[in-house]
Amino acid sequence: MTSPTKQLHDLGQSLWLDNITRQMLDDGTIERYISDFSVTGLTSNPSIFDKAIAGGGYDDAIAEKSSSGLEGEDLFFEIAIEDLRRAADLFAPVHADSGRTDGFVSLEVSPELAYDTTATVEAARALHARADRENLFIKIPGTREGLGAISESIAAGVPVNVTLLFDTDQYLAAADAYMTGIEARIAAGEDPVVPSVASVFMSRWDAAVAGQVPDELTDRLALAVGGTTYRAYRELQASDRWLALQARGARMQRLLWASTSTKNPAAPDTMYVSGLAAPDTINTMPDSTLEAFADHGSLTDTLESDGGNSEEVLEEFESAGISIAGLAEKLQADGAAAFVKSWTDLMDRIAAQSAALS
């Protein structure tokens, strides 16, 4: 019998792991996920590294690097890049076999640069060069302030994972930024193939309205947003603008479902996996969700290219007093603030660990 994760893979959806630690690299966990669960990439963020550092998993590395004079951001990026290089090498066969469309890992720029386009572009370019891996994305938030940095980074040939997107409008703005960068490359006579993904966050929608809507609407908002976003993705693929770029050799920015662990303990633990099954997309999930889907996940339906009844469901939420556009703005703003806090916590953690280990 074909495993649930293999079924998703065969459907045309990439399964990525939303986690990385040095221990997982050392003990073969990531290799096992690749072989057993059809995992073809992974994502990282400062919170993931903060948790691993707090658990003592990087004590030796921090002691060694701090003794050589590294501190703060420089020390963190040295550690993170070491891990992500190893992970990128594990996914290199997938990257090659997929024609450079899959097999990626992701590294985030400092969120403290969020309001400085030039600094973000410079950091993205420097980090990608420092990592020296073709299959490594640089994560840049798809906020209004980040859109210019996304276009410029793509124009400079830096693969970008556009993160912190929540609704269809934010996704389309990120897609526009990507295409603007590709158009700049074509105008300059450069190779139009620069990989990118657009990461749309799911579970935070349902957590945000928990207890504020009728019972029949519980845990239905995220999947409805996913449906309308998938429709926009498919419509964009058929648009004149994209077809013109495709004719010049460009490749579509892939749609990625992020934040797919279930927050409501009463809900199915795989609802944001089975409910977002769709060809030519990516679902990045934490270990627990991946293990759960491999164990008891099922595929009943796939997302319809027209979004199915998603628009009607969103209208029900509007009637219940939920402003979808307003909530999307709030979720992105809250997410950006959380990114900064996570980064600050990480820098504090590294400073404390360096002092304690020196």
pLDDT at 301: 83
Q: Return d(Cα 12, Cα 60) in angstroms, integer.
A: 40
**Which residue is catalytic, options 6, 139, 263, 341?**
139
Contact between residue 207 and residue 259 where contact means Cβ atoms under 8 Å apart: no
Q: Return d(Cα 211, Cα 208) in angstroms, integer.
A: 9
> Per-domain residue ranges for the chain?
39-254+307-357
Ranges of H-type helices in the chain: 4-11, 22-26, 29-37, 46-54, 59-67, 72-90, 92-97, 117-131, 144-155, 168-187, 203-209, 221-237, 240-247, 271-274, 287-296, 310-319, 324-357
| Known catalytic membership, residue 139 | yes
Q: What tens digit of pLDDT does each residue of 188-217 get?
A: 999 999 999 999 999 999 999 999 999 999
Q: Return d(Cα 123, Cα 103) in angstroms, integer.
A: 23
pLDDT at 114: 83
Q: Check: CATH 3.20.20.70 for 39-254+307-357?
A: yes
Average pLDDT along the chain = 96
| Beta-strand relationship, 196-201 and 254-258 | parallel
pLDDT at 356: 85
- E strands of the chain, at which residues? 14-17, 39-42, 105-108, 136-141, 160-165, 196-201, 254-258, 281-285
Per-residue confidence in pLDDT tens, the chain, 358 aa = 789 999 999 999 999 999 999 999 999 999 999 999 999 999 999 999 999 998 888 999 999 999 999 999 999 999 999 999 999 999 999 999 999 999 999 999 999 888 899 999 999 999 999 999 999 999 999 999 999 999 999 999 999 999 999 999 999 999 999 999 999 999 999 999 999 999 999 999 999 999 999 999 999 999 999 999 999 999 999 999 999 999 999 999 999 999 999 999 999 999 999 999 999 999 999 999 999 999 999 988 899 999 999 999 999 999 999 999 999 999 999 999 999 999 999 999 999 988 887 7
